[in-house]
Chains A and B, each alone.
Chain A
Amino acid sequence: MFAAAAVILLATLALLLVRAIKGPTVFDRLLASNTIGNVAVLLLAVIGFLTGRPDFLDLALVYGLLNIVGTIAVLKFFRHGSLGE
């Protein structure tokens, strides 16, 4: 059943990837990449249970932290034209 959840999440990632490639504006791509980050966190958690290795949860935590930093950094760049001094 963990495998079923992982397959569903992979299908979700595929759909989001289509939007990230197609997206007319940069904000569409950014929205898709932010959601991809969130779904990747969930996928890591599920894979940790699937393989019986709970260490994957630590990787999921790190992915979540990096996700928010990356999104805010790219947003700041596109809003102000630079990352600030």
Chain B
Amino acid sequence: MSAAIDVASWALIIAGGAFCLIGAVGILRMPDFYTRVHAASVTDVVGSFAILLGLALQAGASLVTVKLLFIAALIFFTSPAATHALVKAALERGVEPKAAEAPSSR
């Protein structure tokens, strides 16, 4: 494996881990439910895909890469569906967004 691919894959894996951690901090620190959903998407999309792409670069062209692509496709399709269902269920159950006070129109 050439050194350039190696460096690129390590950079992707570490960047993906950093994005996962940032998303988790967001989920922990954000003030209300809907902003937490926003933070979770960072972990689900950028973190997952960066780590999986980095691992695929490590594996090279093989069955392992195909499996990694399957996992990526799975996350790609199920994560937005789950988030959509989650937010819709929360809205119907009356979870209110924590909005700022509306400015008085005087």
Give residues in A with beta carbon < 8 Å to B. 1-2, 4-5, 8-9, 11-13, 15-16, 18-19, 25, 27-28, 30-32, 34-35, 38-39, 41-42, 45-46, 49, 54, 57-58, 60-61, 64-65, 67-68, 71-72, 75, 78-79
Check B64 against A12 for contact (C-beta < 8 Å): no
A62 to chain B, nearest CB (A): 10
B85 to chain A, nearest CB (A): 5
Interface bin, chain B = 35 or more
Other-chain residue from A12, A28, A34 in contact with B20 (beta carbon distance below 8 A)? A12
C-alpha gap A45/B83 in the complex (Å)? 23
- Tally of A-B residue pairs with Cβ under 8 A? 135
- Contact indicator B86/A57 (Cβ below 8 Å): no
> Is B13 within 8 A of A5, CB to CB?
yes
Complex Cα–Cα for A75 and B82 (A): 9
Interface of B is mostly: helix
Do residues A67 and B68 form an inter-chain contact, with CB atoms below 8 A? no
A51 to B: closest C-beta gap in Å? 13
Q: Are A57 and B67 in contact (CB under 8 A)?
A: yes
Residues on A with C-beta less than 8 A from B59 are 49, 54
Q: Which residues of A contact B51 (CB under 8 A)?
A: 5, 42, 45-46
Q: Provided the pairs A54-B67, A61-B70, A68-B78 are in contact, do residues A49 and B55 lie with their beta carbons within 8 angstroms?
A: yes
Name 27 interchain pairs, CB-CB below 8 A, sorted by A.
Answer: A5-B51, A8-B17, A8-B21, A11-B24, A12-B23, A15-B28, A16-B27, A19-B28, A25-B33, A27-B89, A31-B40, A34-B86, A38-B44, A39-B24, A42-B47, A42-B48, A46-B55, A49-B58, A54-B67, A57-B67, A64-B71, A67-B78, A68-B74, A71-B86, A72-B82, A75-B86, A79-B93
